[in-house]
């Protein structure tokens, strides 16, 4: 079983993906971390992230171990990830890694949950369940602001809004694999929902789409 979760930053898709993977005993891949790991490599090497040749070379040698690098959640890394992610050759070089994970998830699990921007449209168009997880810009900015403060990082709300808008615009406007719902994706607007409600709604959708899945039974995210 493959579950594809796409959506903008701070929409709640990452938390939902982790909960679904745990409850359904599926492997989980946060594909944003792949672009972040690549961005971190380029930042470290002092390369220009818009230099497509350098980015493509780095993308070719990226491994799953790179996803464990510290500091990948930093805002600078996220912004740079969004820049390198717009380079078509980079996306092409990273496609196979993601598809391999979906088709042959590690540890013999029966399937995978992948979250990102183009999972339902490009990486796994054959996914059994496709959700486009979104929320209002205000709700997402408030969540990201809180997340940064909780992590002990300095955060100014107005700046969070600005950076989020810049990233959303870049991710949605790029020519290759832009952020958009797959035609057969269900839209889940989490603006007014807490984590438990989002999880319960997603489990109902999974159960309806995959009648023989464990999502049929009672589950909780923990
Ligand atoms: O989900 P995230 O914030 O960790 O992603 C960081 C950036 O990576 C995001 O701004 C765009 C890019 N990305 C992408 O283009 N395609 C994906 N499947 C996942 C992330």
189 strand-pairing partners: 134
pLDDT digits (tens, 9 = 90+) for 95-127: 999 999 999 999 889 999 999 999 999 999 999
Q: Determine whether the shortest distance from the Cβ of 98 to ligand 1 is under 6 A.
A: no
What is the residue extent of each domain of the chain?
2-209
pTM, 2 dp: 0.92
Closest residue to atom 1 of ligand 1, CA basis: 32
Question: Measuring from atom 16 of ligand 1, which residue has the nearest CA?
Answer: 117
86 ligand 1 Cβ < 6 A: no
Would you put residue 89 in left (φ > 0), alpha (ψ -120 to 50) or beta? alpha
The rounded Å distance from CA 107 to ligand 1 centre is: 25
Q: Is the CB of 121 under 6 A from ligand 1?
A: no
**For residue 62, what are the contacts with CB-CB under 8 A and spacing of at least 6?**
34, 37, 38, 41, 94, 97
> Rounded to whole angstroms, what are the CA distances from 220 to 12, 123, 195, 200?
17, 28, 11, 8
User: Could you read off the pLDDT of 170-184 as tens digits, one per residue?
Assistant: 999 999 999 999 999
In the numeric block, the tokens 């171990």 are attached to 65
Architecture field, domain 2-209: 3-Layer(aba) Sandwich (3.40)
């Amino acid at each position: 079983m493959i579950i594809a979760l796409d959506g903008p930053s701070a929409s709640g898709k990452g938390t939902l993906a982790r909960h679904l993977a745990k409850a359904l005993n599926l492997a989980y891949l946060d594909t944003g971390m792949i672009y972040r790991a690549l961005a971190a490599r380029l930042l470290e090497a002092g390369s220009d992230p818009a230099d497509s040749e350098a980015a493509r070379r780095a993308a070719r040698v990226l491994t799953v171990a790179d996803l464990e690098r510290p500091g990948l959640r930093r805002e600078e890394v996220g912004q740079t990830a969004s820049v390198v992610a717009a380079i078509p050759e980079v996306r092409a070089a990273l496609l196979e890694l993601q598809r391999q994970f979906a088709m042959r998830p590690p540890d013999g699990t029966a399937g995978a949950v992948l979250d990102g921007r183009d999972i339902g449209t490009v990486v796994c168009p054959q996914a059994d369940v496709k959700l486009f997880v979104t929320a209002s810009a205000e709700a997402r900015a408030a969540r990201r602001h809180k997340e940064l403060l909780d992590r002990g990082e300095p955060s100014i709300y107005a700046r969070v809004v600005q950076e989020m808008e810049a990233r959303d615009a870049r991710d949605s406007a790029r020519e290759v694999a832009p952020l958009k719902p797959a035609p057969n994706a269900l839209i889940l607007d989490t603006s007014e929902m807490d984590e438990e409600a989002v999880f319960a709604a997603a489990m109902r959708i999974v159960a309806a789409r995959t009648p023989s899945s464990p999502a049929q039974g009672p589950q909780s995210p923990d």
